[in-house]
Chain A
Amino acid sequence: MGMLRRFVSLTAKDMRMIVRSYYMAAVLVIAALLIVSIRFLIPADVDTKPAVVVWDNTGTGMVRQWMEAHAGAEGGTLIVVGDAAAYDAALAVPGNRIGIRADGAAALQQFELTFQGHESTRTRRLLAATMQQYAAAIGGGDSGSGSGGGLPSFATRVLEPDRPVQRPPFDQAVVPLAILMESCMVGIFLAAALLYSEKEDRTLRAYRTSPASVAEYLVARCVAMGLLALISAVPITLLTVGLRANWPVLLPLVFLASMVVTAIVMVMANLFNSIGEFMYPAMAMITVLTLPGVAYFMPSYSPVWVRALPSYPLVFALREAYFPTGNHALLTGSVGQLLLTLALVFPLAVLTFRRQLVVRDV
Chain B
Amino acid sequence: MIHVSELYHSYTKDQSYAVRGVSFGVERGEIFGFLGPNGAGKSTTQKILTGLLPLQRGEATVVGKDVRTYGRELFNRIGVSFENPNLYRKLTGLENLQFHASLYDVPTADPMTLLRRVGLEDAAGRRAGAYSKGMQQRLVFARSLLNRPEMWFLDEPTAGLDPTMTQIVKSIIVEERERGATVFLTTHNMHIAEEMCDRVAFINEGEIVAMDTPRNLKLSYGNKLVRVEYRDNGGLHQQLLSLTDDGERAELQRIMAEETVETLHSQEATLEQVFIKVAGRGLQG
Contact = CB atoms under 8 A, between A and B. Distances in A.
Interface of A: 2, 5-6, 8-9, 13, 16-17, 20-21, 198, 201-203, 205-213, 358, 361
Interface in B73-124: 73-76, 78, 80, 82, 84, 86-91, 95, 99-100, 102-105
Interface of B: prevailing SS: loop
A206 B99 contact: no
Contacts of B219: none
A252 to B, nearest CB: 27
Chain B CB within 10 Å, residue with most, of A6, A13, A358: A13
Given A16-B91, A201-B87, A201-B88, A211 B75 contact: yes
A5 B89 contact: no
Interface stretch (B32-40, B49-57, B183-191, B267-275): B49-57
Contacts of A5: 102
29 contacts: A8-B102, A9-B102, A13-B95, A16-B90, A17-B90, A20-B127, A21-B90, A198-B88, A202-B82, A202-B86, A203-B86, A205-B52, A206-B82, A206-B86, A206-B100, A206-B143, A207-B103, A209-B50, A209-B75, A209-B78, A209-B80, A210-B75, A211-B75, A212-B72, A212-B103, A213-B72, A358-B52, A358-B53, A361-B52
Nearest to B101: A9
A279 B20 CA distance: 41
Chain A CB within 10 Å, residue with most, of B52, B73, B74: B52
Chain B CB within 10 Å, residue with most, of A21, A205, A206: A206
A206 B102 CA distance: 13
B53 A361 contact: yes
Contacts of B78: 209
Contacts of B80: 206, 209
Contact of A203 (B75, B76, B88, B95): B88
Interface string B54-80: 100000000000000000111110101
B100 A361 contact: no
A20 B127 CA distance: 10
B47 interface: yes
Contacts of A209: 50-52, 75, 78, 80
Given A213-B72, A358-B53, A2 B86 contact: no
Contact of B105 (A208, A211, A361): A211
Nearest to B54: A358
B103 A6 contact: yes
Nearest to A210: B103
A205 B82 contact: yes
Q: Which 5 A-B pairs have the closest CB atoms?
A: A9-B102, A202-B86, A210-B103, A20-B90, A209-B80
Given A16-B95, A201-B89, A205-B86, A211 B102 contact: no
A232 B74 CA distance: 40
Nearest to B128: A201
A108 B193 CA distance: 112
Given A211-B72, A211-B73, A361-B47, A17 B99 contact: no
B268 to A, nearest CB: 37
Contacts of B76: 211
A5 B100 CA distance: 11
A2 to B, nearest CB: 4
Contacts of A208: 51-52
Given A205-B82, A210-B75, A361-B53, A9 B90 contact: no
A190 to B, nearest CB: 14
Chain B CB within 10 Å, residue with most, of A5, A17, A201, A207: A201
Contacts of B51: 208-209
Given A20-B90, A210-B104, A211-B72, 14 more contacts: A2-B105, A9-B99, A16-B90, A16-B95, A17-B91, A20-B91, A202-B84, A205-B82, A206-B86, A207-B103, A209-B78, A210-B75, A210-B100, A211-B104
B100 to A, nearest CB: 6
Interface string B141-181: 00100000000000000000000000000000000000000
A172 to B, nearest CB: 38
Contacts of A20: 90-91, 127
Interface in B219-239: none
Nearest to A16: B91
Nearest to A208: B52
A121 to B, nearest CB: 58
Contacts of B73: 211
A211 B72 CA distance: 5
B84 A13 contact: no
